Structure 1
Amino acid sequence: MTLVQFREYRDYAQNRQEANNAIMALLAGSQLANHVLHLTHGSEMQLSQIFPAVPHIKRFNLRTDRAQQFLGEAEEHLCAMAVPYILAIHEDLLMTTLKMLARDGHMTMRRADDAKSHNMHSTFESVTGHTLPAASVKQFHLLRFMRNCLIHAAGTANQALVGHIASLDAPTIQGWETLTGHPLMGSVTVGRKVSFKQGDLIASLAVTKRIAEECNSALVGKISRQTWADYVLREFQADGGNSQANDRLRKVKGIARFYYRALQLTEQELQDAIARA
Protein backbone atom coordinates (compact mmCIF):
# COMPACT_ATOMS: atom_id res chain seq x y z
CA MET A 1 0.00 0.00 0.00
CA THR A 2 1.47 3.34 -1.09
CA LEU A 3 0.66 6.08 1.39
CA VAL A 4 0.45 9.83 1.06
CA GLN A 5 2.89 11.20 3.60
CA PHE A 6 1.13 14.51 4.27
CA ARG A 7 2.48 16.44 7.22
CA GLU A 8 -0.15 15.38 9.76
CA TYR A 9 0.32 11.74 8.81
CA ARG A 10 4.08 12.04 9.24
CA ASP A 11 3.53 13.63 12.64
CA TYR A 12 1.22 10.75 13.55
CA ALA A 13 3.78 8.15 12.46
CA GLN A 14 6.51 9.91 14.43
CA ASN A 15 4.35 10.16 17.57
CA ARG A 16 3.52 6.44 17.29
CA GLN A 17 7.17 5.54 16.91
CA GLU A 18 8.26 7.69 19.83
CA ALA A 19 5.49 6.29 22.02
CA ASN A 20 6.37 2.74 21.01
CA ASN A 21 10.06 3.27 21.77
CA ALA A 22 9.34 4.86 25.16
CA ILE A 23 6.85 2.19 26.18
CA MET A 24 9.10 -0.71 25.15
CA ALA A 25 12.01 0.95 26.95
CA LEU A 26 9.95 1.10 30.14
CA LEU A 27 8.81 -2.51 29.81
CA ALA A 28 12.33 -3.74 29.14
CA GLY A 29 13.76 -1.40 31.79
CA SER A 30 11.50 -2.75 34.52
CA GLN A 31 12.58 -6.30 33.76
CA LEU A 32 16.22 -5.26 33.46
CA ALA A 33 16.01 -3.57 36.87
CA ASN A 34 14.42 -6.70 38.30
CA HIS A 35 17.24 -8.77 36.88
CA VAL A 36 19.91 -6.44 38.30
CA LEU A 37 18.33 -6.62 41.75
CA HIS A 38 18.91 -10.37 41.78
CA LEU A 39 22.56 -9.45 42.37
CA THR A 40 21.58 -7.87 45.70
CA HIS A 41 19.47 -10.81 46.87
CA GLY A 42 19.40 -11.10 50.64
CA SER A 43 20.45 -7.51 51.31
CA GLU A 44 18.69 -5.67 54.11
CA MET A 45 19.73 -2.27 52.71
CA GLN A 46 17.35 0.19 51.08
CA LEU A 47 17.69 0.91 47.37
CA SER A 48 18.85 4.48 48.04
CA GLN A 49 21.78 3.03 49.99
CA ILE A 50 22.73 0.59 47.23
CA PHE A 51 22.16 2.95 44.28
CA PRO A 52 22.56 6.49 45.70
CA ALA A 53 23.39 8.01 42.29
CA VAL A 54 20.11 6.93 40.65
CA PRO A 55 17.73 9.92 40.22
CA HIS A 56 14.44 9.68 42.14
CA ILE A 57 15.55 6.49 43.90
CA LYS A 58 14.23 7.85 47.21
CA ARG A 59 10.71 7.71 45.74
CA PHE A 60 11.20 3.95 45.37
CA ASN A 61 13.20 3.44 48.55
CA LEU A 62 12.48 -0.20 49.38
CA ARG A 63 14.40 -3.30 50.25
CA THR A 64 15.49 -5.45 47.31
CA ASP A 65 12.89 -8.18 47.80
CA ARG A 66 10.00 -5.71 47.98
CA ALA A 67 11.29 -3.72 45.00
CA GLN A 68 11.50 -6.90 42.92
CA GLN A 69 7.89 -7.68 43.73
CA PHE A 70 6.76 -4.30 42.40
CA LEU A 71 8.94 -4.56 39.31
CA GLY A 72 7.63 -8.03 38.58
CA GLU A 73 4.08 -6.64 38.54
CA ALA A 74 4.95 -3.49 36.59
CA GLU A 75 4.06 -4.81 33.14
CA GLU A 76 0.32 -4.78 33.69
CA HIS A 77 0.38 -1.22 35.00
CA LEU A 78 2.65 0.03 32.22
CA CYS A 79 0.41 -1.52 29.57
CA ALA A 80 -2.68 -0.06 31.24
CA MET A 81 -1.10 3.39 30.85
CA ALA A 82 0.26 2.76 27.35
CA VAL A 83 -2.85 1.43 25.59
CA PRO A 84 -4.91 4.62 26.19
CA TYR A 85 -1.91 6.62 24.95
CA ILE A 86 -1.78 4.68 21.68
CA LEU A 87 -5.56 4.99 21.23
CA ALA A 88 -5.37 8.75 21.81
CA ILE A 89 -2.74 9.15 19.08
CA HIS A 90 -4.96 7.21 16.70
CA GLU A 91 -8.07 9.18 17.60
CA ASP A 92 -6.24 12.43 16.92
CA LEU A 93 -5.34 11.21 13.42
CA LEU A 94 -8.93 10.18 12.67
CA MET A 95 -10.24 13.56 13.77
CA THR A 96 -7.64 15.18 11.53
CA THR A 97 -8.77 13.17 8.50
CA LEU A 98 -12.40 14.12 9.13
CA LYS A 99 -11.45 17.80 9.21
CA MET A 100 -9.51 17.34 5.96
CA LEU A 101 -12.66 15.90 4.40
CA ALA A 102 -14.70 18.81 5.76
CA ARG A 103 -12.28 21.38 4.33
CA ASP A 104 -12.59 19.63 0.96
CA GLY A 105 -16.38 19.98 1.08
CA HIS A 106 -17.41 16.38 1.81
CA MET A 107 -19.00 17.13 5.18
CA THR A 108 -19.63 20.04 7.48
CA MET A 109 -16.92 21.07 9.91
CA ARG A 110 -19.47 20.81 12.71
CA ARG A 111 -20.04 17.14 11.90
CA ALA A 112 -16.29 16.57 11.93
CA ASP A 113 -15.94 18.35 15.27
CA ASP A 114 -18.83 16.36 16.74
CA ALA A 115 -17.27 12.98 15.93
CA LYS A 116 -16.09 10.98 18.93
CA SER A 117 -14.07 7.82 19.42
CA HIS A 118 -17.19 5.63 19.34
CA ASN A 119 -18.34 6.83 15.91
CA MET A 120 -15.34 8.37 14.15
CA HIS A 121 -14.66 5.28 12.02
CA SER A 122 -18.29 4.93 10.92
CA THR A 123 -18.37 8.65 10.14
CA PHE A 124 -15.24 8.28 8.03
CA GLU A 125 -16.76 5.32 6.16
CA SER A 126 -20.02 7.19 5.57
CA VAL A 127 -18.28 10.25 4.15
CA THR A 128 -15.67 8.47 2.02
CA GLY A 129 -17.66 5.39 0.95
CA HIS A 130 -14.59 3.36 1.92
CA THR A 131 -15.09 0.32 4.16
CA LEU A 132 -12.43 0.02 6.83
CA PRO A 133 -11.27 -3.47 7.88
CA ALA A 134 -14.19 -4.65 10.01
CA ALA A 135 -12.18 -6.90 12.33
CA SER A 136 -9.66 -4.15 13.06
CA VAL A 137 -12.42 -1.65 13.88
CA LYS A 138 -14.10 -4.15 16.22
CA GLN A 139 -10.73 -4.83 17.88
CA PHE A 140 -10.21 -1.08 18.27
CA HIS A 141 -13.54 -0.82 20.05
CA LEU A 142 -12.60 -3.76 22.28
CA LEU A 143 -9.52 -1.81 23.35
CA ARG A 144 -11.66 1.32 23.75
CA PHE A 145 -14.13 -0.46 26.02
CA MET A 146 -11.23 -1.86 28.05
CA ARG A 147 -9.80 1.65 28.36
CA ASN A 148 -13.16 3.05 29.39
CA CYS A 149 -13.42 0.43 32.13
CA LEU A 150 -10.01 1.47 33.38
CA ILE A 151 -10.88 5.17 33.42
CA HIS A 152 -14.58 5.18 34.29
CA ALA A 153 -15.24 1.91 36.12
CA ALA A 154 -12.29 1.62 38.51
CA GLY A 155 -10.66 -0.98 36.27
CA THR A 156 -13.53 -3.46 36.38
CA ALA A 157 -15.56 -4.81 33.47
CA ASN A 158 -18.87 -3.11 32.73
CA GLN A 159 -21.81 -4.23 30.62
CA ALA A 160 -20.57 -2.36 27.56
CA LEU A 161 -17.34 -4.39 27.49
CA VAL A 162 -19.08 -7.68 28.23
CA GLY A 163 -21.67 -7.03 25.53
CA HIS A 164 -19.04 -6.08 22.96
CA ILE A 165 -17.06 -9.26 23.61
CA ALA A 166 -20.22 -11.31 23.19
CA SER A 167 -20.92 -9.65 19.83
CA LEU A 168 -17.55 -10.47 18.25
CA ASP A 169 -17.43 -12.99 15.42
CA ALA A 170 -14.94 -15.84 15.11
CA PRO A 171 -12.51 -14.14 12.66
CA THR A 172 -12.26 -11.07 14.89
CA ILE A 173 -11.59 -13.21 17.96
CA GLN A 174 -9.03 -15.31 16.11
CA GLY A 175 -7.27 -12.19 14.86
CA TRP A 176 -7.23 -10.74 18.35
CA GLU A 177 -5.74 -13.89 19.84
CA THR A 178 -3.08 -14.01 17.12
CA LEU A 179 -2.07 -10.43 17.88
CA THR A 180 -2.12 -10.69 21.65
CA GLY A 181 -0.88 -14.25 22.08
CA HIS A 182 -3.51 -14.97 24.72
CA PRO A 183 -7.21 -15.98 24.70
CA LEU A 184 -9.86 -13.31 24.51
CA MET A 185 -11.53 -12.55 27.82
CA GLY A 186 -14.62 -14.56 26.93
CA SER A 187 -15.37 -15.31 30.54
CA VAL A 188 -15.39 -11.67 31.64
CA THR A 189 -18.33 -10.73 33.78
CA VAL A 190 -19.47 -7.37 35.05
CA GLY A 191 -17.38 -6.32 38.02
CA ARG A 192 -14.40 -8.52 37.20
CA LYS A 193 -11.01 -6.80 36.98
CA VAL A 194 -9.83 -5.86 33.48
CA SER A 195 -6.12 -6.53 33.08
CA PHE A 196 -3.78 -5.25 30.39
CA LYS A 197 -0.95 -7.42 29.10
CA GLN A 198 1.89 -6.76 26.69
CA GLY A 199 -0.12 -8.58 24.01
CA ASP A 200 -2.89 -5.99 24.35
CA LEU A 201 -0.33 -3.27 23.79
CA ILE A 202 0.98 -5.04 20.68
CA ALA A 203 -2.62 -5.38 19.46
CA SER A 204 -3.29 -1.67 19.98
CA LEU A 205 -0.25 -0.76 17.87
CA ALA A 206 -1.11 -3.24 15.10
CA VAL A 207 -4.83 -2.49 14.94
CA THR A 208 -4.47 1.29 14.87
CA LYS A 209 -1.71 1.10 12.26
CA ARG A 210 -3.85 -0.96 9.90
CA ILE A 211 -6.86 1.32 10.25
CA ALA A 212 -4.71 4.44 9.79
CA GLU A 213 -3.21 3.07 6.58
CA GLU A 214 -6.66 2.21 5.23
CA CYS A 215 -7.84 5.75 6.03
CA ASN A 216 -4.82 7.17 4.26
CA SER A 217 -5.58 5.07 1.19
CA ALA A 218 -9.21 6.21 1.20
CA LEU A 219 -8.19 9.87 1.33
CA VAL A 220 -6.16 9.49 -1.87
CA GLY A 221 -9.26 9.06 -3.98
CA LYS A 222 -11.63 11.22 -1.96
CA ILE A 223 -9.71 14.45 -1.42
CA SER A 224 -9.61 16.48 -4.64
CA ARG A 225 -6.34 16.74 -6.51
CA GLN A 226 -6.59 20.52 -6.27
CA THR A 227 -6.69 20.28 -2.47
CA TRP A 228 -3.77 17.84 -2.43
CA ALA A 229 -1.76 20.25 -4.56
CA ASP A 230 -2.65 23.02 -2.10
CA TYR A 231 -1.36 20.82 0.74
CA VAL A 232 1.95 20.46 -1.07
CA LEU A 233 2.21 24.21 -1.42
CA ARG A 234 1.24 24.66 2.23
CA GLU A 235 4.21 22.51 3.23
CA PHE A 236 6.50 24.60 1.04
CA GLN A 237 5.21 27.78 2.69
CA ALA A 238 5.44 26.32 6.20
CA ASP A 239 9.11 25.53 5.61
CA GLY A 240 9.94 29.08 4.58
CA GLY A 241 8.50 29.34 1.10
CA ASN A 242 10.50 32.46 0.18
CA SER A 243 12.25 31.13 -2.91
CA GLN A 244 12.51 33.17 -6.07
CA ALA A 245 9.74 32.46 -8.56
CA ASN A 246 12.05 30.52 -10.87
CA ASP A 247 13.07 28.19 -8.00
CA ARG A 248 9.69 27.86 -6.32
CA LEU A 249 8.23 25.27 -8.70
CA ARG A 250 11.33 23.10 -8.43
CA LYS A 251 11.05 22.95 -4.63
CA VAL A 252 7.30 22.36 -4.69
CA LYS A 253 7.82 19.51 -7.16
CA GLY A 254 10.45 18.06 -4.82
CA ILE A 255 7.99 17.99 -1.90
CA ALA A 256 5.33 16.39 -4.11
CA ARG A 257 7.77 13.77 -5.36
CA PHE A 258 9.12 12.92 -1.91
CA TYR A 259 6.00 12.95 0.28
CA TYR A 260 3.06 12.83 -2.14
CA ARG A 261 4.40 10.32 -4.66
CA ALA A 262 1.27 8.16 -4.49
CA LEU A 263 -0.75 10.97 -6.06
CA GLN A 264 1.48 11.55 -9.08
CA LEU A 265 0.57 15.24 -9.11
CA THR A 266 1.39 16.91 -12.41
CA GLU A 267 3.53 19.98 -12.90
CA GLN A 268 0.45 21.86 -14.11
CA GLU A 269 -1.49 20.98 -10.95
CA LEU A 270 1.35 22.28 -8.82
CA GLN A 271 1.68 25.44 -10.91
CA ASP A 272 -2.04 26.04 -10.46
CA ALA A 273 -1.63 25.70 -6.68
CA ILE A 274 1.13 28.29 -6.74
CA ALA A 275 -1.07 30.62 -8.77
CA ARG A 276 -3.98 30.19 -6.31
CA ALA A 277 -1.69 31.14 -3.44
Structure 2
Amino acid sequence: MGELLYSEYREYFRTRVEVNNAMMALLAGSRLAGHTLQLTAGSQRTLAELFPAVEHIGRFNLRSDEARSLLRNADHHLTSVALPYALATHEDFVMSSIEFLRNEGFAIKKGGKAVKAWNMHSVLFNSAGSAIPHDLLQSFDLLREMRNSTIHAGGKLQPNLLKSVSAMGASSTAEWQRLNSQAPSDVIASGQVSLNASHIFTAFAVTKSLARRINTSLRSAIPKSSWARIAVEDYQEITSKTKNSSSWRRSLIGYVRLNYSPANLTETDLEQAARQLNYWTLNAWK
Protein backbone atom coordinates (compact mmCIF):
# COMPACT_ATOMS: atom_id res chain seq x y z
CA MET A 1 0.00 0.00 0.00
CA GLY A 2 2.95 2.33 0.42
CA GLU A 3 4.24 4.47 3.26
CA LEU A 4 2.67 7.42 5.00
CA LEU A 5 5.10 10.26 4.45
CA TYR A 6 4.25 12.32 7.52
CA SER A 7 6.81 14.91 8.56
CA GLU A 8 8.67 12.83 11.18
CA TYR A 9 8.97 9.90 8.79
CA ARG A 10 10.22 12.11 5.98
CA GLU A 11 12.87 13.50 8.29
CA TYR A 12 13.92 10.01 9.35
CA PHE A 13 14.08 8.92 5.71
CA ARG A 14 16.20 11.95 4.81
CA THR A 15 18.59 11.37 7.71
CA ARG A 16 18.88 7.65 6.98
CA VAL A 17 19.75 8.33 3.35
CA GLU A 18 22.31 10.92 4.44
CA VAL A 19 23.95 8.52 6.91
CA ASN A 20 23.89 5.67 4.40
CA ASN A 21 25.50 7.80 1.71
CA ALA A 22 28.17 9.07 4.11
CA MET A 23 29.10 5.56 5.20
CA MET A 24 29.16 4.28 1.62
CA ALA A 25 31.37 7.22 0.66
CA LEU A 26 33.87 6.28 3.37
CA LEU A 27 33.80 2.63 2.36
CA ALA A 28 34.23 3.40 -1.33
CA GLY A 29 36.85 6.02 -0.49
CA SER A 30 38.99 3.48 1.33
CA ARG A 31 38.82 1.20 -1.73
CA LEU A 32 39.63 4.04 -4.12
CA ALA A 33 42.54 5.19 -1.98
CA GLY A 34 43.98 1.70 -1.82
CA HIS A 35 43.62 1.32 -5.58
CA THR A 36 45.30 4.69 -6.21
CA LEU A 37 48.23 3.85 -3.95
CA GLN A 38 49.05 0.85 -6.12
CA LEU A 39 50.53 3.42 -8.48
CA THR A 40 53.15 4.25 -5.85
CA ALA A 41 54.19 0.66 -5.12
CA GLY A 42 57.85 0.42 -4.16
CA SER A 43 58.17 4.08 -3.19
CA GLN A 44 59.95 4.85 0.07
CA ARG A 45 58.45 8.30 0.30
CA THR A 46 55.62 9.11 2.70
CA LEU A 47 52.12 10.05 1.64
CA ALA A 48 52.75 13.62 2.76
CA GLU A 49 55.65 13.78 0.33
CA LEU A 50 53.73 12.13 -2.49
CA PHE A 51 50.47 14.05 -2.06
CA PRO A 52 51.34 17.36 -0.31
CA ALA A 53 48.19 19.11 -1.58
CA VAL A 54 45.83 16.68 0.19
CA GLU A 55 44.43 18.21 3.37
CA HIS A 56 45.40 16.41 6.61
CA ILE A 57 47.68 14.00 4.73
CA GLY A 58 50.45 14.77 7.21
CA ARG A 59 48.42 13.11 9.95
CA PHE A 60 48.58 9.87 7.93
CA ASN A 61 52.34 10.08 7.57
CA LEU A 62 53.11 6.58 6.31
CA ARG A 63 54.75 5.08 3.27
CA SER A 64 52.29 4.02 0.58
CA ASP A 65 52.80 0.27 1.21
CA GLU A 66 51.98 0.73 4.90
CA ALA A 67 48.95 2.88 4.04
CA ARG A 68 47.68 0.28 1.53
CA SER A 69 47.89 -2.41 4.19
CA LEU A 70 45.77 -0.32 6.55
CA LEU A 71 43.24 0.51 3.86
CA ARG A 72 42.87 -3.15 2.88
CA ASN A 73 41.85 -3.86 6.47
CA ALA A 74 39.77 -0.72 7.02
CA ASP A 75 36.39 -2.49 6.91
CA HIS A 76 36.42 -3.48 10.57
CA HIS A 77 37.17 0.07 11.67
CA LEU A 78 34.64 1.63 9.29
CA THR A 79 31.96 -0.79 10.45
CA SER A 80 32.73 -0.05 14.10
CA VAL A 81 31.84 3.58 13.30
CA ALA A 82 28.98 2.98 10.86
CA LEU A 83 27.09 0.42 12.94
CA PRO A 84 26.53 2.71 15.96
CA TYR A 85 25.68 5.59 13.60
CA ALA A 86 23.04 3.59 11.73
CA LEU A 87 21.48 2.16 14.90
CA ALA A 88 21.44 5.52 16.69
CA THR A 89 19.57 7.10 13.78
CA HIS A 90 16.99 4.32 13.91
CA GLU A 91 16.68 4.37 17.70
CA ASP A 92 15.90 8.08 17.62
CA PHE A 93 13.11 7.39 15.12
CA VAL A 94 11.62 4.60 17.24
CA MET A 95 11.65 6.75 20.36
CA SER A 96 10.01 9.62 18.49
CA SER A 97 7.38 7.19 17.17
CA ILE A 98 6.56 6.10 20.72
CA GLU A 99 6.19 9.77 21.65
CA PHE A 100 4.00 10.21 18.57
CA LEU A 101 1.64 7.54 19.89
CA ARG A 102 1.67 9.10 23.35
CA ASN A 103 0.75 12.50 21.90
CA GLU A 104 -2.15 10.85 20.05
CA GLY A 105 -3.54 9.59 23.34
CA PHE A 106 -2.24 6.00 23.30
CA ALA A 107 -1.25 4.31 26.54
CA ILE A 108 2.41 3.36 26.26
CA LYS A 109 2.79 -0.26 27.36
CA LYS A 110 6.21 -0.33 28.99
CA GLY A 111 5.62 -3.27 31.30
CA GLY A 112 6.94 -1.26 34.23
CA LYS A 113 10.36 -0.84 32.60
CA ALA A 114 12.15 2.18 31.20
CA VAL A 115 12.09 2.34 27.42
CA LYS A 116 15.54 1.54 26.10
CA ALA A 117 17.05 0.26 22.87
CA TRP A 118 16.55 -3.37 23.92
CA ASN A 119 12.76 -3.09 24.41
CA MET A 120 11.70 -0.01 22.45
CA HIS A 121 10.31 -1.92 19.47
CA SER A 122 8.17 -4.19 21.63
CA VAL A 123 6.88 -1.17 23.53
CA LEU A 124 5.95 0.57 20.28
CA PHE A 125 4.26 -2.39 18.60
CA ASN A 126 2.41 -3.40 21.77
CA SER A 127 1.23 0.18 22.32
CA ALA A 128 0.00 0.35 18.73
CA GLY A 129 -1.72 -3.03 19.04
CA SER A 130 0.40 -4.50 16.24
CA ALA A 131 2.11 -7.83 15.80
CA ILE A 132 5.78 -7.82 16.78
CA PRO A 133 8.12 -8.68 13.84
CA HIS A 134 10.25 -11.14 15.81
CA ASP A 135 12.48 -12.14 12.87
CA LEU A 136 13.54 -8.57 12.20
CA LEU A 137 14.03 -7.89 15.89
CA GLN A 138 16.31 -10.91 16.25
CA SER A 139 18.57 -9.44 13.58
CA PHE A 140 18.32 -5.98 15.11
CA ASP A 141 19.23 -7.33 18.55
CA LEU A 142 22.25 -9.13 17.12
CA LEU A 143 23.42 -5.91 15.48
CA ARG A 144 22.78 -4.01 18.71
CA GLU A 145 24.83 -6.45 20.78
CA MET A 146 27.62 -6.35 18.19
CA ARG A 147 27.62 -2.59 18.60
CA ASN A 148 27.54 -2.82 22.40
CA SER A 149 30.46 -5.24 22.52
CA THR A 150 32.39 -2.97 20.18
CA ILE A 151 31.87 0.36 21.92
CA HIS A 152 31.46 -0.75 25.54
CA ALA A 153 33.88 -3.68 25.76
CA GLY A 154 36.61 -2.85 23.25
CA GLY A 155 35.34 -5.48 20.85
CA LYS A 156 35.51 -8.32 23.36
CA LEU A 157 32.76 -10.92 23.30
CA GLN A 158 30.01 -10.18 25.81
CA PRO A 159 27.41 -12.67 27.17
CA ASN A 160 24.47 -10.79 25.64
CA LEU A 161 26.03 -11.14 22.19
CA LEU A 162 26.14 -14.89 22.62
CA LYS A 163 22.49 -14.84 23.71
CA SER A 164 21.52 -12.88 20.60
CA VAL A 165 23.32 -15.33 18.33
CA SER A 166 21.56 -18.25 20.04
CA ALA A 167 18.17 -16.49 19.78
CA MET A 168 18.28 -16.25 15.99
CA GLY A 169 15.48 -18.37 14.51
CA ALA A 170 15.51 -20.22 11.21
CA SER A 171 14.01 -17.34 9.22
CA SER A 172 16.21 -14.61 10.68
CA THR A 173 19.27 -16.85 10.31
CA ALA A 174 18.50 -17.47 6.65
CA GLU A 175 18.08 -13.72 6.02
CA TRP A 176 21.30 -12.96 7.90
CA GLN A 177 23.15 -15.49 5.75
CA ARG A 178 21.65 -13.99 2.60
CA LEU A 179 22.77 -10.49 3.55
CA ASN A 180 26.17 -11.37 4.96
CA SER A 181 27.20 -14.67 3.32
CA GLN A 182 27.98 -15.94 6.81
CA ALA A 183 26.21 -17.55 9.74
CA PRO A 184 25.27 -15.32 12.70
CA SER A 185 27.85 -17.18 14.83
CA ASP A 186 30.59 -15.94 12.48
CA VAL A 187 30.33 -12.45 13.98
CA ILE A 188 32.43 -13.90 16.80
CA ALA A 189 36.05 -14.92 16.20
CA SER A 190 38.60 -15.78 18.89
CA GLY A 191 36.54 -14.13 21.60
CA GLN A 192 36.18 -10.87 19.66
CA VAL A 193 33.48 -9.24 17.55
CA SER A 194 34.43 -9.74 13.92
CA LEU A 195 33.03 -6.86 11.87
CA ASN A 196 33.02 -6.53 8.10
CA ALA A 197 31.47 -4.22 5.51
CA SER A 198 28.42 -6.45 4.97
CA HIS A 199 27.30 -5.65 8.50
CA ILE A 200 26.91 -2.00 7.46
CA PHE A 201 24.55 -3.01 4.64
CA THR A 202 22.69 -5.34 7.00
CA ALA A 203 22.18 -2.59 9.58
CA PHE A 204 20.62 -0.31 6.98
CA ALA A 205 18.48 -3.11 5.53
CA VAL A 206 17.15 -4.28 8.90
CA THR A 207 16.40 -0.79 10.22
CA LYS A 208 14.71 0.17 6.93
CA SER A 209 12.43 -2.86 7.17
CA LEU A 210 11.63 -2.12 10.81
CA ALA A 211 10.84 1.50 10.00
CA ARG A 212 8.38 0.36 7.34
CA ARG A 213 6.70 -1.97 9.86
CA ILE A 214 6.43 0.95 12.27
CA ASN A 215 4.94 3.11 9.54
CA THR A 216 2.31 0.44 8.83
CA SER A 217 1.54 0.03 12.54
CA LEU A 218 1.03 3.75 13.05
CA ARG A 219 -1.16 3.96 9.96
CA SER A 220 -3.41 1.22 11.30
CA ALA A 221 -3.47 2.34 14.93
CA ILE A 222 -4.05 6.07 14.55
CA PRO A 223 -7.63 6.90 13.50
CA LYS A 224 -8.42 8.46 10.17
CA SER A 225 -9.62 11.72 11.73
CA SER A 226 -6.25 12.12 13.44
CA TRP A 227 -4.36 11.49 10.22
CA ALA A 228 -6.49 14.16 8.56
CA ARG A 229 -5.53 16.61 11.31
CA ILE A 230 -1.86 15.60 11.08
CA ALA A 231 -1.88 15.98 7.30
CA VAL A 232 -3.51 19.43 7.39
CA GLU A 233 -1.10 20.64 10.07
CA ASP A 234 1.82 19.27 8.08
CA TYR A 235 0.62 21.03 4.95
CA GLN A 236 0.11 24.32 6.77
CA GLU A 237 3.73 24.17 7.97
CA ILE A 238 5.11 24.12 4.44
CA THR A 239 2.61 26.08 2.36
CA SER A 240 2.80 29.73 1.36
CA LYS A 241 -0.79 29.72 0.12
CA THR A 242 -3.31 32.01 1.79
CA LYS A 243 -5.77 30.28 4.10
CA ASN A 244 -9.38 30.22 2.84
CA SER A 245 -8.17 30.54 -0.76
CA SER A 246 -9.04 28.05 -3.48
CA SER A 247 -5.31 27.60 -4.15
CA TRP A 248 -4.78 26.63 -0.48
CA ARG A 249 -7.50 23.99 -0.74
CA ARG A 250 -6.30 22.60 -4.08
CA SER A 251 -2.70 22.46 -2.92
CA LEU A 252 -3.75 20.74 0.30
CA ILE A 253 -5.54 18.03 -1.66
CA GLY A 254 -2.51 17.51 -3.91
CA TYR A 255 -0.12 17.46 -0.93
CA VAL A 256 -2.17 14.86 0.90
CA ARG A 257 -2.49 12.74 -2.23
CA LEU A 258 1.30 12.78 -2.56
CA ASN A 259 2.22 12.12 1.07
CA TYR A 260 -0.77 10.55 2.82
CA SER A 261 -2.51 8.40 0.22
CA PRO A 262 -2.26 5.18 2.33
CA ALA A 263 -4.52 6.83 4.93
CA ASN A 264 -7.33 7.04 2.31
CA LEU A 265 -8.33 10.54 3.38
CA THR A 266 -11.32 12.07 1.59
CA GLU A 267 -11.92 15.74 0.88
CA THR A 268 -14.57 15.64 3.58
CA ASP A 269 -11.97 14.38 6.07
CA LEU A 270 -9.64 17.22 5.12
CA GLU A 271 -12.37 19.84 5.23
CA GLN A 272 -13.41 18.78 8.73
CA ALA A 273 -9.81 18.87 9.95
CA ALA A 274 -9.15 22.25 8.33
CA ARG A 275 -12.26 23.73 9.95
CA GLN A 276 -11.39 22.29 13.37
CA LEU A 277 -7.94 23.84 13.09
CA ASN A 278 -9.39 27.18 11.90
CA TYR A 279 -7.42 27.00 8.67
CA TRP A 280 -10.69 27.10 6.72
CA THR A 281 -13.48 29.33 7.96
CA LEU A 282 -15.55 30.00 4.84
CA ASN A 283 -18.97 28.43 4.53
CA ALA A 284 -18.22 26.81 1.19
CA TRP A 285 -15.35 24.34 0.57
CA LYS A 286 -14.32 25.39 -2.89
Task: Decide: shared fold, TM above 0.5.
Answer: yes
Residues 97-129 of structure 1: CA deviation (Å, up to 9, x unaligned):
111111111125999x94211111111121122
Unaligned runs of 5+ in 2: 278-286
Structure 1 residues 188 and 78, CA, compared in 2 at 3 Å: closer, same or farther?
Answer: closer
Residues 30-89 of structure 1: CA deviation (Å, up to 9, x unaligned):
111111111111111111111111111111111111111111111111011101111111
Structure 1 residues 34 and 76, CA, compared in 2 at 3 Å: closer, same or farther?
Answer: same
Which amino acid is the alignment partner of residue 5 of structure 1?
L
Q: How does 1:123-142 map to 2 (within 5 A)?
A: 123-142=123-142
Which amino acid is the alignment partner of residue 231 of structure 1?
I
Which residue number in structure 2 is paired with residue 230 of structure 1? Answer: 229
Unaligned runs of 5+ in 1: none
Which residue number in structure 1 is paired with residue 217 of structure 2? Answer: 218
Which residue number in structure 1 is paired with residue 86 of structure 2? Answer: 86
* 1:185 alignment partner, SS class: helix
Give the CA deviation at 1:135. 1.0
Structure 1 residues 125 and 95, CA, compared in 2 at 3 Å: closer, same or farther?
Answer: same
* 1:102 alignment partner, SS class: helix
Give the CA deviation at 1:228. 0.9
* Separation (CA, whole Å) in 1 of partners of 2:192 and 2:84: 17
* Separation (CA, whole Å) in 1 of partners of 2:249 and 2:239: 14
Which amino acid is the alignment partner of residue 121 of structure 1?
H
Give the CA deviation at 1:170. 2.3
* Separation (CA, whole Å) in 2 of partners of 1:257 and 1:90: 27
Q: How does 1:115-126 map to 2 (within 5 A)?
A: 115-126=115-126
Which residue number in structure 2 is paired with residue 182 of structure 1? Answer: 182
Which amino acid is the alignment partner of residue 217 of structure 2?
A
Which residue number in structure 2 is paired with residue 148 of structure 1? Answer: 148
Give the CA deviation at 1:226. 1.8
Give the CA deviation at 1:242. 5.1
CA contact (8 A) 1:146 1:194 kept: yes
* Separation (CA, whole Å) in 1 of partners of 2:110 and 2:205: 30
Structure 1 residues 188 and 38, CA, compared in 2 at 3 Å: closer, same or farther?
Answer: closer
* Separation (CA, whole Å) in 2 of partners of 1:171 and 1:250: 47
* Separation (CA, whole Å) in 2 of partners of 1:241 and 1:107: 36
Question: Aligned-pair RMSD on alpha carbons?
Answer: 2.1
Which residue number in structure 2 is paired with residue 265 of structure 1? Answer: 265
After superposing the two structures, state which structure 1 stretch, 228-237 or 68-77, moved more.
Answer: 228-237
Structure 1 residues 31 and 186, CA, compared in 2 at 3 Å: closer, same or farther?
Answer: closer
Give the CA deviation at 1:246. 2.2
Which residue number in structure 1 is paired with residue 42 of structure 2? Answer: 42
* Separation (CA, whole Å) in 2 of partners of 1:57 and 1:108: 51
CA contact (8 A) 2:4 2:262 kept: yes
Residues 220-246 of structure 1: CA deviation (Å, up to 9, x unaligned):
111121221121122222114551412
* Separation (CA, whole Å) in 2 of partners of 1:76 and 1:224: 45
Give the CA deviation at 1:159. 0.7
CA contact (8 A) 2:86 2:203 kept: yes
CA contact (8 A) 1:132 1:215 kept: no
* Separation (CA, whole Å) in 2 of partners of 1:264 and 1:187: 44
After superposing the two structures, state which structure 1 stretch, 154-163 or 124-133, moved more.
Answer: 124-133
User: What TM-score, normalized to structure 2?
Assistant: 0.90
Give the CA deviation at 1:271. 1.2
Indicate yes or no: 2:238 matched with 1:245.
no
Residues 7-38 of structure 1: CA deviation (Å, up to 9, x unaligned):
11111111111111111111111111111111
Which residue number in structure 1 is paired with residue 73 of structure 2? Answer: 73
Which residue number in structure 2 is paired with residue 30 of structure 1? Answer: 30
